[in-house]
Chains A and B, each alone.
Chain A
């Protein structure tokens, strides 16, 4: 298990390989469909938000306000990443992301951007909303809550020992491509 702390250096990211299990600590931002389309269309990040050397988490958490009026994340697993494929590569380049956390993997454009800019795709276990919410220690802020709604907003979260696996690295390797090709070949034998 490799420990990763945000902000992440390019050197650290390029040292990671497909199959590496990691444990991530630091502050990250959630962002999914609405955020990706917005940024890709030329939208600006709110003041105080920077993705430079950071991680975006494809996640629409369940967040409720406790009795003291503080935000509390009660469920926070990853959402399917492939929907962001049209936008992700450009956003990695433009905003200096070092990591994307999601599930299901992404395509060739994102893989190429990871290689070019020094970024990796971390796969979290889909559906494991409680285990992953335990790694979220605090909600620091929320942006675009009214415009995009709670699941689609940018949540600034402090995470500690968040478990994930590198499934796309900065060297052009993708576990998802490998498994697809192998399973397609296996299926051909059964038809």
Chain B
């Protein structure tokens, strides 16, 4: 498993230090749109320079290297236990090398043992498929953006949000308003309509695996995504909440079945420092290709 260890270490390094191309393009486009001479423009310029510096120095884009979440698509019969052990080893080494901050705290004692390995860290989601391919995706999601995530239970009287798509739209836009610049905007929303309290958030985060420029195959959800993106960008919150034209870079929404009694809308917010990468691995664990 030496190859797998090396490949996962490289996946972590690259995820932490290099922003994916689709996100970088969206940031550069937004820089074009902002009014010259504003603090929104200067914030985006700093962001642009930061992206270049991190890549060049092979150091974290953001010091909060976040929750470490692996998504693994694996063949039937794959040894998940060995994978998880190897992933934990790679996380330990990545932390020693400074690709990851010492970022995992014992919630009861408050102690940080500096390894990033402990209950719930890293998290690995396995998904079997009937293919020989082994694909490993990684998201590093910082605490600032995680803290502005929100889950609404419909109907919501205060927001006058009923159990329909109009109601969903209202609560999603409320999440954008409440987040302001605290989640390090311009941000990207991952939303799940339905599910339970746990799966709703889980599926909302999985939306971050989509390419920024893709379109939702479900026409209703596609329209909602475009509508939220456009409306949010007319609110004037702007980069970092400084005011300006770019509040969001993208919106990704999925739907999951719900119980008759429940109607949750779960909103996850991803900061501009959108750390998401993936690799397809050969059977010997060597990286065959990058997925983003």
Contact = CB atoms under 8 A, between A and B. Distances in A.
Interface of A: 19, 21, 34, 59-62, 64, 74-77, 79-80, 82, 103-105, 123, 125-131, 133-134, 148-152, 163, 165, 167, 175-176, 179-180, 182-184, 186-187, 190-191
Given A34-B110, A149-B105, A176-B180, A131 B236 contact: no
Contacts of A167: 242
Given A34-B110, A128-B46, A59 B63 contact: yes
Contact of A127 (B39, B61, B101, B160): B61
A163 B46 contact: yes
Interface of B: 39, 42-43, 46-47, 49-50, 53-54, 57, 59-65, 97-98, 101-103, 105, 110-112, 114, 142-144, 147, 160, 170, 173-174, 177, 180-182, 184, 231, 234-238, 240-243, 271-273
B64 A130 contact: no
Given A79-B144, A151-B103, A184-B177, A190 B60 contact: no
A75 B101 contact: yes
27 contacts: A62-B101, A64-B98, A74-B98, A75-B60, A76-B63, A103-B181, A103-B240, A104-B180, A104-B241, A123-B242, A126-B184, A127-B142, A127-B184, A127-B273, A128-B46, A133-B59, A149-B102, A150-B112, A151-B63, A152-B112, A163-B46, A175-B242, A179-B242, A182-B243, A183-B180, A187-B177, A187-B235
A163 B46 CA distance: 9
Nearest to A20: B39
B173 A190 contact: yes
Contacts of B242: 123, 165, 167, 175, 179
Given A103-B240, A129-B54, A179-B237, A75 B63 contact: yes
Given A76-B63, A80-B143, A152-B112, A125 B105 contact: no
Contacts of B63: 59-62, 75-77, 129, 133, 151
Contacts of A190: 173, 231, 234-235
Nearest to A165: B39
B236 A183 contact: yes
A190 B232 CA distance: 10
A79 B143 CA distance: 9
Contact of B47 (A125, A148, A183): A125
Contacts of A182: 236, 243
A179 B54 CA distance: 30
Contacts of B181: 103-105, 126, 176, 179
A187 B169 CA distance: 11
A19 to B, nearest CB: 7
A27 B56 CA distance: 27
A62 B98 contact: yes
A126 B110 CA distance: 25
Given A59-B63, A80-B143, 19 more contacts: A60-B64, A64-B98, A75-B60, A103-B184, A104-B182, A125-B240, A126-B144, A126-B184, A126-B240, A129-B60, A130-B53, A133-B59, A133-B63, A149-B111, A165-B42, A175-B242, A179-B180, A187-B231, A191-B173
